[in-house]
Structure 1
Amino acid sequence: MTKITIVTDAWYPQVNGVVRSIENTNRELERMGIEVSMITPLDFSSVPCPTYPEIRLSVASYSAVARAIEKFGPTSVHIATEGPLGLLARRWCLKNKVSFSTSYHTRFPEYVAARFPIPIRWLRAFVRWFHNAGNGCMVATASLERELSKLGLRNLLRWSRGIDQALFRPQPLEAEPFGLQRPIFMTVSRLAVEKNLPAFLSLDLPGTKVVVGDGPERANLQRQFPDVHFLGMKTGEDLARAYAQADVFVFPSLTDTFGNTILEALASGVPVAAYPVTGPIDIIEEGSGAGALHPDLRQACLNALNCSRENARRLAEHYTWTAATRQFLDNVVTARGKRPPSLPSPSI
């Protein structure tokens, strides 16, 4: 029987793409009869992350993480993040000569460099050191695979994403959703510096700009952009209803590795406007009529107004969590069958 231990520093109460991806994957693995054990910050005491207190950093000992893994007795170990728990699980796997897989959810070097004065070449060396110790690093898209390969990451494996197409769906359009004038240009995001939200919020666009989400930058953004409507955090059916009322979904991030919210918007029948960068260029297929990519985000927004809601939904239907989870399972099995690599020292 396949038993998988998944180690992640990103977990509840955080709401982000990492958490949602693991949550949905776990649900599908359970349906497939796979037993999963989670090691998360909920299992340990924690401290707030400097500059981003909503993220909690686990204060865990090596022995505690080792006991958690050994008690479950997994056939495969997957390390989802490069944080404190990921480092301890990596150490255990190497010490015990256990093959393991990792995943690259976030542009870690850029994310850290945006908050701390650390040279990005050091952070990239750390990423190589961390992931190349494993037997497979899962990435969501072809463009990200090419990018990481150039940075020296090895054993890259594809793990796409899916979407709950029953929850996120087209719904009847209101004349003035939220009491606001159309067209509605909406983003759904964690309100944090790496999301590049001012690039969208500062645009001169017709209608109304709407933000769904919360985070450390919310107060600053509300002061800076008083004409923008901030609806706060929404989940479940409330989030699905909000998506469905947008005319265009705007994805201003330059650093995301995929963009789960893009799929949520498309499934809701909402065309997407974004920069032509990793994530959007892998999802918004050229000629699909489901969205618009342009180096000028305002132009992308205006072009997306002419895209079809039917085409957006049609594109989203290609993405299912069942297919994505089969990829994940194949990857952890592939990684398990490889011998642990020899480890060079990280070069800066």
Structure 2
Amino acid sequence: MRILIVSDAWTPQVNGVVTSLQALISQLRGMGHQVKLLSPGDFRSIPCPTYPEIPLVWNLWRVGPAIRAFQPDCVHLATEGPLGWAARRWLKKRNLAFSSAIHTRYPEYVSTRCPLIPLSWGYAYLRHFHRPSQAVLVTTEHLRGEFFARGLRQLKLWRKGVDCSLFKPLPVAGDAQSDPVFLYVGRLAAEKNLDAFLSLDLPGLKRVVGDGPQRHALQQRYPRVEFCGYQHGHALAEAYQQASVLVFPSLTDTYGLVMLEALACGTPVAAFAVRGPLDVLQQGITGYMHEDLGAACRQALQLSREGCAREAAKQSWTVSAHEFLAEQPLLDGELYMPSVLLT
């Protein structure tokens, strides 16, 4: 098939949405499908005023012609940003079917950054955006139930995976407790709740891999923490391998791919007992979840690295890609029909 994916999130951004889409596109192309991604790099954009790493496309009138030029069999809207809205508007006007996805807890993120905006407004925004979608893809059964309770419909399961050829344990594991390294990987932004981790009194070293709008403030506040910036590929895998525990302090993530990547490298996870960690971790086997994050960190040190890697190896991107394909409507609303020409 000819598959078009529209996303406001793409490289050089580093986040779970980009990681998921990169893995998906690689798998789909490996299956023989033709995949095109429409991203901010294909258009003119300006930096987001409160988050300059995120580009906002402004010449949105070019989105429709770009869709028509590719002649896709199906279209997937990965994000609810300007590009997603422009593609949605063009498709809906022509009564063409599409799928969409909820990758992040957008309402919670907005409320964290702008406390004056009620959570209910964010969910009204999500309901409006996804209402015409034939299939709204979510990562876990828990999220499907939660979003259904918030009034979203057509919710389908699309589980994420991990690249075990890249993220794998060291041949010989070191003694994690002799000089523990507590690692955070991800964006440095308010919604990630970094202070809950960095303020803890823990033995050994705290290391942060990632970047974002809070980096300067956090470095000033926590001078003893090692800030490494973004890491990719083998360098990122090595950061996981060298860590004793991955600390995941977020209270709002829908999933948290970094947890799977860490586990594949044999590194257990410490987190709060909230959605995301609850969907990824097995308490006492691959991680510890506790309302006291410091206690979870210390308990996670006791876990078997071999057990963590063994559990992570059960999840692959190939299975994830097949789940994605199974929920894709063709533009006329049918599944796996011959190519539909656009006019």
Pick the aligned partner of 2:320 from 311, 316, 324: 324
One-letter amino acid matched to 1:19:
V
Change (3 A) 1:336 1:173: farther
Deviations 1:112-171 (A, max 9, x none): 222334222112101011112211110001111111011000010111111110111111
1:207, distance to aligned residue in structure 2 (A) = 1.3
- Find the residue that maps to 2:182 and give its secondary structure: strand
Deviations 1:61-109 (A, max 9, x none): 23x1110111111111100000000000000111011111100001111
Q: Which residue of 2 aligns with 1:344?
A: none
Aligned: 1:55 with 2:51: no
One-letter amino acid matched to 1:219:
H
Check whether the contact 1:183–1:206 (CA below 8 A) recurs between aligned residues: yes
Q: Which residue of 2 aligns with 1:214?
A: 211
Check whether the contact 2:248–2:269 (CA below 8 A) recurs between aligned residues: yes
Check whether the contact 2:176–2:244 (CA below 8 A) recurs between aligned residues: no
- Find the residue that maps to 2:64 and give its secondary structure: helix
Aligned: 1:17 with 2:13: no
Q: Which residue of 2 aligns with 1:343?
A: none
Report the Cα distance in structure 2 between the residues aligned to 1:335 and 1:277, rounded to whole angstroms. Answer: 37
Q: Which residue of 2 aligns with 1:346?
A: none
- Find the residue that maps to 1:137 and give its secondary structure: strand
Report the Cα distance in structure 2 between the residues aligned to 1:237 and 1:245, rounded to whole angstroms. Answer: 12
- Find the residue that maps to 2:89 and give its secondary structure: helix
Q: Which residue of 2 aligns with 1:42?
A: 41
Aligned: 1:305 with 2:301: yes
Root-mean-square deviation over aligned CA pairs? 1.8
Aligned: 1:274 with 2:286: no
1:290, distance to aligned residue in structure 2 (A) = 1.3
Q: Which residue of 1 aligns with 2:118?
A: 119
Q: Which residue of 2 aligns with 1:150?
A: 149
Matches within 5 A, 1:1-348: 2-62=1-61, 64-116=62-114, 117-171=116-170, 172-173=172-173, 182-286=179-283, 289-333=285-329, 337=333
- Find the residue that maps to 1:303 and give its secondary structure: helix
Task: Give aligned pairs, total.
Answer: 333
One-letter amino acid matched to 2:83:
L
Unaligned runs of 5+ in 1: 340-348
Deviations 1:232-271 (A, max 9, x none): 2111111111110111111011111110100110000001
TM-score, normalised with respect to structure 1: 0.92
Report the Cα distance in structure 2 between the residues aligned to 1:194 and 1:79, rounded to whole angstroms. Answer: 23
Report the Cα distance in structure 1 between the residues aligned to 2:218 and 2:117, rounded to whole angstroms. Answer: 26
- Find the residue that maps to 2:69 and give its secondary structure: helix
Q: Percent identity at matched positions?
A: 49
One-letter amino acid matched to 1:238:
A
Check whether the contact 1:266–1:312 (CA below 8 A) recurs between aligned residues: yes
Check whether the contact 1:173–1:245 (CA below 8 A) recurs between aligned residues: no
Check whether the contact 1:197–1:253 (CA below 8 A) recurs between aligned residues: yes
Report the Cα distance in structure 2 between the residues aligned to 1:332 and 1:175, rounded to whole angstroms. Answer: 46
Report the Cα distance in structure 1 between the residues aligned to 2:111 and 2:64, rounded to whole angstroms. Answer: 30
- Find the residue that maps to 1:114 and give its secondary structure: helix
TM-score, normalised with respect to structure 2: 0.93
Change (3 A) 1:293 1:70: same
Change (3 A) 1:290 1:239: same
Change (3 A) 1:141 1:194: same
Check whether the contact 1:7–1:80 (CA below 8 A) recurs between aligned residues: yes
- Find the residue that maps to 2:327 and give its secondary structure: helix
